[in-house]
Structure 1
Amino acid sequence: MHNRLALYRLFTFFTLFIFQTSVYGKSSKELPEFNDWMALIKSSTENDSTITHHEKQVEIALMEGDTLAAINNLRELGSLYTSRVDYGDSYDTHWKLIMLAEASGDSISLARAYNGMSILYSLYERRDVALDYIEKSLVIRKELVAKGKAEQKELGSSYFPLAIHYRFSNDLQRAKIYLDSCKLYWSTGLLVRAEDGYQAIWNGNYEKARKQLIPIEDSIANNLQSYMVIFYSNLGDLHLYSKNYDKAIEYYSKSILNGYEHLRHLNYIPDIYLQLAKAYQSIGDFRNANKYLITGNKINEWLYSSRSENNRYLLEIKDDVRIAKEKKEKLLKEQRITQLEHEQQVWWLRTIIISVSTIFLGVMAIIWFRRIRRKHKEEQAKLEQKRKEEDAKNKEILSIKNRELTNSTLQIIAKDELLSDLKEDLDKLQKSSNSKEVQSLINNIKVNKDISWLEFENRFTAVNSDFFEKLKEQFPHLKPYDHKICALIKLNFSGKEMAKLLGISPESANTSRYRLRKRLGLKKEDNLVEFIDSI
């Protein structure tokens, strides 16, 4: 009896063990724990070659006076620091970027820097200040678009963060308004489609979210790998709220591993662990739920201690330091202005004394100077007249050479046409007679349009030495084919003559002239020939 009872208990134990293993062993791959994250972040901070590279490039650019390069590298640095949760360095970097962009008048970079600052303040739950920075960015972009200095799609760069800001503020009505505004400029963007799906999740419209997010998963994975932390996390939310807990666990795990691999969007990691814990709790896996709940809270405490009551004033302290620096710089500037005013007064006193003591010599100097200036003007007038004569002579010579070039080019065209006609006639004769001698003549006749054009181009450049250089300098976006058209227009070639030399139809030649006008930015009333001739 005792043996049977013991066997029954043993069987019950193994049955429960197998059941618990099937329930609690859901995770296909062990996820990094708190100590793993700490070691990774410490290692990346100390040995990040990308950050070191951008820091070095900023130093070099500032030493060489290359403001644009310094701004670009500062922007990359700010983004990297934010992703690696180094918020102090990120704040300092964005502030340097703002100062440099303001000093250089780079409005686009200033707007982007404001967006970066808004992200930092959002992380510190300072949503009022974050909103202020996003709106500053939007104002700048609107002004640039209104003045024609930026494309309208730039507005999407401010509407998009506004949509995200209001979604996290749980103002879903405004979030949708700004997302709809963003769609006007980023209608086909993956990020816009993803945000549309996220808003559907927050609204509880899981079917719409599924239709928005599932089809674009592969596209985002292939094109925006580091963004998958956010994308997988939101897919996890979708499945969690839809009570598809296995899928929720799968996507939360993918999100965490992606963040661990790419070190991007680490500010999302604590919340993802907490959501993962909820998913495990929902299926009764309390061991994993407790494990990931502890991990998420530990990372959250370490990562966002700056948002706690004791440390949430980090940015305010930095603001105080910045304000103190600005006051000090302002005081030094005022002292310098006072010093300059004093020096100016001394200079005026010295000037008056010297002027009074040398007034007689000054009068004599004026008389002498007028005489010299009159003589100089006469000489300048002679030189100017001589220069005009030389210019007129050079223009006449250039005109003669261009006429000669035009005539020789037309002769080449005529020769090629004659050879082409002769070749066609011989082809007909050869087909009727099947003569080897005729075939030999056909083979010896070479009509090479490329050689004709190369010969023309070499002679044109020899006559008009700096024409192509000026063209490239004034219109760098023009293609080599456009240069050909410009050269032929300068020589007053008709559309038919252009077509013969270029080996195209007259209609294509006219189309090329029309496209060239657009690329040169000419209005309907502008004369293309006169414009090209003035270059």
Structure 2
Amino acid sequence: MKYFQHIFQFLFTVGFLFSSGLLFSQDLKYKEYDSILLNTPKEMGKKNIPREKIILWNKEMLEKMKKENYVRGIIWAHINIANQCWNLGNGEESIKNLNAAESILHKNESEIDFFTIAKLYQEYSQAYYVMKLYDTGLKYNSKGGYYGNKIEDKDRRGKFLSYVYTTRANFLYEKKDLDSALYYLKQSSLLYESLSTTSQIANHYIEYQPSQNSAKAYLGQGMDIISKKKHDPNDYQISVFYYYYAQYFFKEKNYEKAIVFLDKALEYNKKLKTIEHTKNIYKLLISCYKNSGNLEKEKQYLEYYIKLKDSLENSQAKGVELSIKTIEKEKTEENKTLKKKIFIYSSIIIFLILLVLAYLYYQNHKKKKVILESKEIISRKEDETKVLERRISGVHEDLIQLAKNNDISFLEKFHEVYPNVSQKLLAINPDLTKDNLAFCALIWLGFSSKDIAEFTFMQHRSVQIKKSRLRKKLNLGSDVNLYQFLKSLVDN
């Protein structure tokens, strides 16, 4: 009896040690995957490897993580692909990958760390920024900040929150909340003195609340970060910094210096294919050459700008085509190597012929599918546009009726439908009252003085007096047609 007990105990101990060894080995493997997924895309970016190839590498890692059934690895592969997509201007593809990652997260939330969750929502935020959906982007930015504050590692938490605050500042600039934007930039800088944040603070004093002395001070800090290689700035950050420096000289009307820094910005950005940034560089170069009288260079960069704009529209299709070609090429090479070890030369030749035929068939089928999908997308977009036009027409009619009824909600509804009108007017004179804005709204909608007098229960002469006072507030002469002036402010 004791003999069997000893055997059982021995087998149990061996089994326990073996299973523990497997679990330990698996844990080490997963940690290695974490390190690869977090660090390799950054290293590839530093080496200026094209974003399409980084996407392809992450797609291969995604398939590997799926085979390994490693949930956190799958999520990070999707996050990495999404990051490269929005940098290429492809917000739609970015959102698709983030949706896939979030779906997996919800099913395995207890297994996922706060850094991964925070990173997922921050990437959502960036993708929506590219798509100009600022309110939605801010919502996800807040979620990223919420989970970012839960990150245990202090250094990682500080660096990540710095990134979140910088992104939030970008959203606030779009919403014209300049003071809050500057506040978050400075909070970001306190957490982590990166070249990116320093550059954006400098740009704040160049573009939004002009102060050349303040801008110069922060640009000096940026040059110090580059020269001393603090926090290891990457090529994109340096390129953006030089772009802001060019803006500084453009404001000084020193166009030659501005062009020098724009050339540097292009040099650091040439392999990155960060399309929006490249467009901004070209746009400023066009203005510099125009102001300096170099019409030939102005024309040259205008052509570059137009070509880049067209390429942006085709970036998704090109990215898919490049990925397919690269994958097929690598599969062919792998198959060649494998078959040389297994089959005789005649078998290899036969296999390659079949592979080529299959590849050609697949390519032909894929192209037809892409063309069909493109047509469907175009048709769907056209239908959406028609629906939107009908909605806008209906909203406009409702607005007209509110004006005729002298409804108190007229101005609020007008702001919702045509927000830029009041923004432009307040930019001219911040002291304009709600009554002034409502009066401008009635004129902008095309109502005559007689109509306005009738709807607002005023004398015709009182309307004329109000128009005269409004001209003074807007610094307009008596010969200026108010309706034409207001319509010229904002493209209808």
Q: Aligning the two structures, in what range does the TM-score lie when normalised by the shorter sequence?
A: 0.3 to 0.5
TM-score using structure 2 length: 0.46
Give the number of the structure whose alpha-carbon radius of gyration is greater.
Answer: 1
